[in-house]
Amino acid sequence: MIPVVLQYGATARSYAALSLRGFDEPDEVRLIGRPHEYPDGSLDEQLRGFKRVITIDFGVLQNLADRIFILKFLNGAKRQVRTATQVAFVALEDPGRYANEWIDNLQHGKRFILRLIDEGVYTIFPTPATVTEIMYLKSKVEITGTQSSPEAFTTNSGKLATDETGQAYPTFNEATHVFHVSVNGAPYQEAHVNIVNKPTVSSGNITFQAAVQDGGKPAADGKFYADIAIYLQAKP
């Protein structure tokens, strides 16, 4: 069995997969390019690179919560697949539909196989960075901003004075890394939380604005919360 973590936004769940194909070996790739045929009949493929096709076989999932999470993962944003030391940001190979397999047509034999592709395009086979180098998480942050008056957040200040581990956020540098900020209110209430503006870097800190959807239902205590995750990827 292969320990695998599926994650969308800041929400993750662990699985024991039967197989993980195409993740750390070039088992299957999708070539990215635009073929062009010239008037003399010569052909220029104009290949830009490739995306890995990653296939995860979870086998039969008997836990309903495991099956429901896969649906949330398929419908989520900023998906990633993680092993003990590596991570890959992924998209759906077929975003139009998904169906599991019923072994011997039995209701309790529901086998789940996911086929995913890289979000980015590679020209050499990637060596993913370790998870601790690319994600900083802060769980259950209260969100008071509205669509008309969003709330400002800055790393190493206010509600983001520290990350989930109690440590200060690093110094962010756009010259060496690209970054993505994700806010996810789904674990806490029905109301959606979104980022209002494009995050920016100033003096080594990331600043952005977040807001709760208008008319959204709050958590049981009447407040709104979200997990805030910051993802980093080193520039080549």
Report yes or no: 5 and 82 within 8 Å, Cβ to Cβ.
yes
Confidence of residue 198 (pLDDT cuts 50, 70, 90): confident
Question: What whole-number distance in Å separates Cα of residue 94 and Cα of residue 215?
Answer: 33
Residues 86 and 12 in one domain: yes
Among the candidates 118, 150, 167, a domain finishes at 118
In a domain? residue 143: yes
pLDDT of 176 strictly over 50: yes
For 173-184, what is the mean pLDDT?
88
Assess if residue 128 is contained within a domain. Answer: no
For 74, list phi and psi in degrees, rounded to 5.
-65, -35
Residue 130 has pLDDT above 70, yes or no: no
149 Cβ contact list (under 8 Å, min separation 6) = 211
Q: Does residue 125 lie in a domain region?
A: no
pLDDT, one tens digit per residue, over 1-34 is 788 999 998 888 889 899 999 998 889 999 887 7
Q: Is residue 227 domain-resident?
A: yes
Q: 112 and 197 share a domain?
A: no
Q: Is residue 75 part of a domain?
A: yes
Q: Which of 118, 144, 168 is the last residue of a domain?
A: 118
Name which of 53, 61, 75 is nearest 122 in CA terms: 53
Whether residues 42 and 100 share a domain: the answer is: yes
Q: Of 88, 118, 148, which closes a domain?
A: 118
Residue 202 pLDDT greater than 80, yes or no: yes
- CA separation for the pair 125, 122 (Å, rounded): 7
114 plus 151 within the same structural domain: no
Going by pLDDT thresholds of 50, 70 and 90, the confidence category of residue 92 is very high
Choose among 169, 167, 175, 134: nearest CA to 154: 169
Q: Is residue 123 one of the residues assigned to a domain?
A: no
Domain co-membership, 45 together with 99: yes
**Which CATH number does the domain housing residue 17 bear?**
2.40.30
Q: Is residue 124 part of a domain?
A: no
Residue 149 lies in a domain: yes
The answer, yes or no, to whether residue 184 has pLDDT greater than 60, is yes
* Per-residue pLDDT reduced to its tens digit, 139-148: 899 999 999 9
| Strand-strand pairing, 205-212 and 200-202 | antiparallel
| pLDDT tens track for 47-85 | 778 999 999 999 999 888 899 999 999 999 889 998 876
* Number of domains into which the chain is organized: 2
Q: What is the mean pLDDT of the chain?
A: 87
Q: Are residues 151 and 197 in the same domain?
A: yes
pLDDT band at 127 (very low <50, low <70, confident <90, very high): low
**Structural domain boundaries enclosing 151:** 134-234
Do 68 and 110 fall within a single domain? yes
